[in-house]
Amino acid sequence: MRRPKVFVTQPIAESALARLRDVAEVEVNPDSSRVLAKDNLIDGVKRADILLCLLHDAIDRDVLTANPNLKAVSSMNITQDHIDLAAATDLGIPVANIPAIVTDATADIAFGLLLAVARNIALGDRLFRQGIYPGSQSNHFAGYAVTGKTLGLIGFGRIGQAVARRGSGFGMKIIYYDPCRLPAEDERGFSVVYRDLDDLLREADFVSLHPRLTPDTHQLMSDAQFALMKPTAFVVNTSRGPVIDEAALVRALESGQIAGAGLDVYEHEPKVAPELVAMPNVVLTPHLGSAVLELREDMAHIVVDNTIALIEGRPPVSCFNPQVLKKLF
């Protein structure tokens, strides 16, 4: 009996790949430094029964129809970003996914960006490496305080709540906006205060974005919203890039409407506005939200669990289109 073929778009934990090789012929794109080009992705799919892909891979109809014998997609996505789920469902292709296990890692990055941009940590590191040392009490790298300031959280789900816990450790006043306001008892438990969106933007010293990406939150932060913020305030985004109108963010930073930004995600990822790259008051990281070695290994094992389940004719741990599974199992 022929072993199924699995194409993996980038290297994942070797311990997980070893398990997958026990049940399948596995081809792995060896380059972990860049997103696989669409043509190369399609070539890989043509040789595969199952595609094992990562969050950044764009799985559109062209990819899904490149191989009429493609049986399934096993994705490391938590949300269905970059996957044409309607096309997959039309084609009868199940798309397995992983549970939401990146909460603390993403919250860590959010707070790390907040600290880095407020206290000029990234700027100081970069210039010190170039030989610039202005002295330990110079104002050359003086930044903004974090302890005791007001942290505004837009979106108060699992990650927003985790960032609130970190802000509380810095003695910050935590305010939040979410379309679904918490019961008063839960607000007291988190030591947070509800604000409508405009009031939050006016009051917060740091605005940290944690909404889901939906048509309603696309470019949630644009010119009108930045105009409400303090000129000493910072925006941090670890949710999804299109939540911010990047051109509007550039305008707000260039005009001094806001003090700075910390970004882990981008509107046209992996591209980023060149103006942001040149700004010393902007800290940029390449979507590192879940980039923790232990966590990434756990994620790899879950996606391999799903892949093995699909090979063996069992339902995966989680699936974006379970209605397709019902036809298969």
Q: Tell me which residues are annotated as active site.
A: 240, 269, 287
Cα separation, 185 vs 230, whole angstroms: 30
> Rounded distance, CA 304 to CA 274, Å?
37
What is the residue-wise DSSP string for 169-237?
HTT-EEEEE-SSPPPHHHHHHHTEEE--HHHHHHH-SEEEE-----TTTTT-BSHHHHHHS-TT-EEEE
What are 283's strand-pairing partners? 262
The string over 293-308, giving b where at least 16 C-beta atoms fall within 10 Å of a residue's C-beta and e elsewhere, is eebbebbbbbbbbbbb
Give CA angle at 239 (236, 245), nearest 5°.
70
Q: Are 41 and 57 in contact (CB under 8 A)?
A: yes
Supply φ then ψ for residue 239, to 5 degrees: -90, -90
Q: Is the dihedral of CA 108, 111, 114, 119 positive or negative?
A: negative
6 and 50 in contact (C-beta within 8 Å)?
A: yes
Name the token pair of 239: 């949710």
Contact 260, 286 (CB under 8 A): no
CA distance 26 to 41: 15
Q: Counting Cβ atoms within 10 Å, is residue 196 exposed (0-12), middle (13-18) or buried (19+)? A: exposed
Q: Which helix (H) or strand (E) holds 74?
A: strand 72-75
